[in-house]
Amino acid sequence: MGLDAAVRLAAIVAVVFLLSGIVGAIVIRKVIGKVISLGMCALIALLFWSQRANIKSCAANATVGDTTCHFLWFDVQVPSPADELTRS
């Protein structure tokens, strides 16, 4: 292999590595974006699931009259089970 062939080979290898780096960065960015989106959706689902359990527990403890339960940033009026039976 002569000097000219070695220079061409080095240039080709450099271009191939540069292009593979660019393609790799694009693929990694898309994958990381999907992982971050999935993580955010999982956190929101967990937040609502835990709040659902809290409001269910609060409603189960309602005995007489309406009870106010806290759901996220809102107050929710929950009627007592006895009041529900007399209404129907």
d(CA 39, CA 53): 21
pLDDT in 10s for each residue of the chain, 88 residues = 677 788 888 888 899 999 999 999 999 988 998 999 999 999 999 888 888 877 777 767 766 666 777 777 777 776 666 555 555 5
88 touches 78 (CB < 8 A): no
Q: Domain total for the chain?
A: 1
Q: Which domain holds residue 76?
A: 3-87
What pLDDT, on a 0 to 100 scale, did the predictor assign at position 57?
Answer: 76
Burial label, 22 (beta-carbon count in 10 A; 0-12, 13-18, 19+): exposed
Report long-range pairs for 67-70 (Cβ below 8 Å, ≥24 apart).
none
Task: Classify 70 as helix, strand or coil.
Answer: strand
pLDDT at 41: 93
Phi-psi region of 64 (alpha: psi -120 to 50; beta: other; left: phi over 0): beta
What's the pLDDT at 38? 93
Q: What pLDDT, on a 0 to 100 scale, did the predictor assign at position 40?
A: 93
